[in-house]
Amino acid sequence: MHLSELNNRDKEVSLLKRQLKSSQTALKHLWEYRDYVEEIKAYIASEELTGASELWNELEYPVQRSLYIAPLYGGPFTTKERAIIKGFWVITTEDIEG
What whole-number distance in Å separates Cα of residue 72 and Cα of residue 76?
A: 10
Average pLDDT over residues 6-13: 83
The pLDDT value given to residue 1: 62
Letter for the amino acid at 59? L
- CB of 42 within 8 A of CB of 77? no
Q: How many domains does the chain have?
A: 1
Examine the pLDDT at 52 and tell me if it is beyond 80. yes
The pLDDT value given to residue 98: 66
Other C-beta atoms closer than 10 Å to the C-beta of 26 total 20
> What is the span of the domain harbouring residue 50?
3-97
Examine the pLDDT at 78 and tell me if it is beyond 90. yes
Greatest alpha-carbon span in the chain: 59
Q: Which of 10-19, 37-46, 61-70 has the lowest mean pLDDT?
A: 10-19
Nearest CA to 37 out of 74, 5, 3, 90 is that of 74
10 vs 82, higher pLDDT: 82
DSSP state of 68: T
Give residue-wise pLDDT tens across range 26-46. Answer: 899 999 999 999 999 999 999
